[in-house]
Amino acid sequence: MNDLQNGFAVERLRRELDASERRLRSIINHNPDSILVLDQEGVVLFANPAADALFGWGGRLQGHVFGFPTVAGETTEIDIAAHGRNARQVEMRVSATEWDGRSAMMATLRDITDRKASERALRDSEFRYRQAFDQALTANYISDPAGGLLASNATFLRIFGFESEQEACEAGVPALFGNPAKHAEIVEAVRRHRALRGVEIEMTHHNGAIVHVIGNVFGSFDANGNLEALTAFLLDVSEWRSLEAQLRHAQKMEAIGRLAGGLAHDFNNLLTVVTGYGSLLLNRLPATDRLRQCAVEIVDAADRAAALTSRLLTFGRRQFTQPALFRLDELLDSIAPLLRSAAGDDIELRLSATGGGVIFADRSQIEQVIMNLVVNARDAMPDGGVMTVRSLLQGEADLPVGLGPGSRVLLEVSDTGHGMTPEVRSRLFEPFFTTKSQGKGTGLGLSIVYGIVKRAGGEVLVESQPEQGAVFRVYFPEVQGEPAVPAPVAEPALPRRGTETILLIDDDPNLRRLAVSVLHDAGYRVLEATDALHAIRIAEETPIDLLLTDVLMPGMNGRNLAAKVLGMRPNSRVLYISGFNEDATLLQGVYEPGASFLRKPFTPAQLERNVREILDRPHGVAAAAATGA
Amino acid sequence: MGQFSLKLFIAGQTARSEHAVAQARRLSESKLAGKCVLEIIDVVERPDIAEQERILATPMLVKAHPLPMRRIIGDLTRMEDVLFGLGLLADMGVLEPGGSA
């Protein structure tokens, strides 16, 4: 090989080396990772452009002390100091190398700031969703299609009665659906529709009780469309269901009550007329007259009808009441002998009246409630058994759902009798609903209980299963206060005849004619008016002793009329004729003390007695709030 | 006392910083017990010192005294790496209990 050839070879080798170095430098210069070559004291021997950019000094790192790099595993994380800009997080990898013939270290730094930020964002997001899942009001769970529980939240454990997630896992999701077929049905529906929204499902508590839920169930699918998991959000509506049923029942009873009460009220007016004329007929017919028996029958039938309408009015809560404060315990004690005789010899009556409190209600009506419940319990045990009647005080926390705030005085009547089906239970308080054979019950006993209890601001709840007896619980609001001492009841005075002038106002012509007839017969002078204006004109012209007026009339009501008449004739007395309790409320709330009234239906004797009683009363003496039957 | 002066530079109160502080304490309280002053400097709170000391990255442990000054950066878990990086293995006699003070 000559010199020329040698020269070419060297030149080629040099070019190849240059090219090779350029390639390697290019790789290093364009590497997105920072590369530092360090000596044993951590001084930078070489830094690629990415490293210069990472540290952001604007100058070269070469010659600066980076530090001796220590890595515990394969990599370690370090922070690049901020120096006026955002700090960067870096993953450092270290390897041994050689530099200019001496051993050195190569540190490769990868900027992981953005990756870390997204990891953190993901973690935060995961945490937030996990919170939303865990803390939700809904019972949430995730399961595999076979029903294996993958995740659940606290509400889920609570509404299905699990102590721990592990216990729930052991039970498995299909058990919550009552049977595996029902669970499979849901899974199949999710597979087909991908999601179910607002579905109502009857599920099963760990203890076997029914749990009504409304739920959304979503499927998670893999790339091939296979169902991988189900996520369910279930809202427990069991309590709402029960409240809804209570509300429906209350509305039904309210409607029936209105109907029965309204009917009975109008019927009362008619019965007053029937009874009145029947009585008049009876009084006027000679004792030997064959028609007398007809009149007796008329009056008897009308009396029975009046008793019936009175019970319907009680149920419809339109019956007149005289509420007062009294102790339920004391009432139970006072009627204990009555209850024992009502229960009969075959039944063991356990009476406990020690824990009750003060209530505000019509004492005689509550007596009727207790009596009706006792009779009902007795009839449920034709072959004998145990009846328990007790009163106790219940704090708000112990009350069943839907009863509202405040403590209650509880009256409980339970029996060991034949019990009842849910169907019977739901219709129990309807008037004329009875399971007793014909002639044994009117079907009004429990309706009356219902009406009275409602009227007193109470609630009555029944618990019963066929062949397992029944428990009636009546909750009265507990009232703070001392019971009043009951006033002695005055004996009704025998009516005597009169000669005074009575001004009578009632828009019902039949009733008016009857009253005129009765009062005429008793010796009074009766002036009739069809409405208030008519009555005022009469009072202007004629001195009157008694104003006998209906409470509710078209135009002017009885109270205003009385005020006008008393303005002109201050010595007159007033007796109101009242249809039902709404009138009485009006009287008690608005009318002056001393106002008296006569309840429809009334008998001629009651009318006479009331008129006489008021006319005989000295001026300025307050009358009892109500008179009449 | 105070024969060794160590400075640990950290960036904020992170898990990484806490680990570095624990390791530096371990070192100062075991191998260098009674012979070391450890100063901990948070570069987030004191960027001026970081600037002055030309701290490129954290966590960084600096042996300021005795000279020569040495710096190590990264994970302080492996004590032998730490001792080697700080140039302390070269003078193990100083570190042995009962060694020359």
Q: ipTM value of the model?
A: 0.88
- Residues A596, A588: contact at Cβ < 8 Å? no
- Residues A392, A355: contact at Cβ < 8 Å? yes
Q: What angle do CA A264, A455, A417 make, to 5 degrees?
A: 90
Whether pLDDT at A353 is above 80: yes
Of A81 and A413, the structure prediction assigns the larger pLDDT to A413
- The listed range with the strongest mean pLDDT (A97-101, A395-399, A548-552, A614-618) is A97-101
Q: How far apart are the C-alpha atoms of A501 and A499, rounded to whole Å?
A: 7
- Residues A418, A411: contact at Cβ < 8 Å? no
Q: Quick check: B77 and A87 CB within 8 A? A: no
Of A81 and A116, the structure prediction assigns the larger pLDDT to A116
- Beginning with the edge strand found earlier in the chain, give each strand of the sheet holding A596-599 in spatial order: A525-529, A501-505, A546-550, A573-578, A596-599
CA A210, A214, A220, A224 torsion: positive or negative? positive
Q: Quick check: A78 and B77 CB within 8 A? A: no
Q: How far apart are the C-alpha atoms of B25 and A112, rounded to whole Å?
A: 28
With CA atoms as reference, the chain A residue closest to B84 would be A68
Q: Quick check: A76 and B74 CB within 8 A? A: yes
Torsion, CA B18, CA B21, CA B25, CA B28, rounded to 10? 160
Residue B48 touches partner A, C-beta closer than 8 Å: no
- Residues A145, A187: contact at Cβ < 8 Å? yes
CATH 3.40.30.10 is the classification of domain B4-89:
yes
Residue A433 touches partner B, C-beta closer than 8 Å: no
Residue A106 touches partner B, C-beta closer than 8 Å: no
B13 CA: distance to closest CA in chain A (Å): 12
Of A56 and A446, the structure prediction assigns the larger pLDDT to A446
Of B37 and A179, the structure prediction assigns the larger pLDDT to B37
A133 CA: distance to closest CA in chain B (Å): 28
Q: Quick check: A78 and B59 CB within 8 A? A: yes
Q: How far apart are the C-alpha atoms of A587 and A579, rounded to whole Å?
A: 12
With CA atoms as reference, the chain A residue closest to B51 would be A83
Predicted local confidence at residue A625, as pLDDT:
38
- Residues A207, A213: contact at Cβ < 8 Å? no
Q: Quick check: A81 and B50 CB within 8 A? A: yes
A516-538 per-position pLDDT tens digit: 888 988 889 999 988 888 899 99
Retrieve residue A599's tokens. Answer: 């309840």
Q: Lowest mean pLDDT: which of A50-59, A463-472, A499-508?
A: A50-59
Mutation for testing the A interface, residue in B19, B56, B83 having most A CBs under 10 Å: B56
Candidates A256, A257, A254, A251; CA nearest to A580 is A257
Residue A87 touches partner B, C-beta closer than 8 Å: yes
Retrieve residue A41's tokens. Answer: 């004291």
The overall pTM is greater than 0.90: no
Whether pLDDT at A627 is above 50: no
Predicted local confidence at residue A151, as pLDDT:
93
Residue A119 touches partner B, C-beta closer than 8 Å: no
- Residues A65, A42: contact at Cβ < 8 Å? yes
Of A388 and B90, the structure prediction assigns the larger pLDDT to A388
Residue B33 touches partner A, C-beta closer than 8 Å: no
Residue A72 touches partner B, C-beta closer than 8 Å: yes
Counting every residue written for chain A, the total comes to 629
Percent composition of chain A: helix, strand, coil (DSSP 3-state, to 5): 45, 25, 30
The pLDDT of A177-185, averaged and rounded, is: 87
Query: Which residues in A lie closer than 8 A to residue B47 (C-beta atoms)?
Result: 82-84
Q: Quick check: A80 and B54 CB within 8 A? A: no
CA A521, A524, A598, A612 torsion: positive or negative? negative
Predicted local confidence at residue A320, as pLDDT:
67
Q: How far apart are the C-alpha atoms of A219 and A187, rounded to whole Å?
A: 9
pLDDT band at A59 (very low <50, low <70, confident <90, very high): low
The pLDDT of A290-309, averaged and rounded, is: 86
Candidates A203, A216, A205; CA nearest to A159 is A205
Residue A68 touches partner B, C-beta closer than 8 Å: yes
B49 CA: distance to closest CA in chain A (Å): 11
Q: Quick check: A42 and B60 CB within 8 A? A: no
Closest partner residue to A66 (CB to CB) among B73, B77, B84 is B73
Predicted local confidence at residue A626, as pLDDT:
39
Q: Quick check: A72 and B78 CB within 8 A? A: yes
- Residues A110, A91: contact at Cβ < 8 Å? yes
| Cα→Cα distances A313→A448, A452, A576, Å | 9, 10, 20
Closest partner residue to A78 (CB to CB) among B57, B70, B82 is B57
Whether pLDDT at B98 is above 60: no
Q: Residue ranges of the domains in chain B?
A: 4-89
DSSP A5-23: HHHHHHHHHHHHHHHHHHH
pLDDT band at B101 (very low <50, low <70, confident <90, very high): very low
Residue A84 touches partner B, C-beta closer than 8 Å: yes
- Find the largest Cα–Cα distance for chain A: 176
First to last CA, chain B: 9
| Cα→Cα distances A157→A111, A133, A140, A205, Å | 45, 13, 9, 10
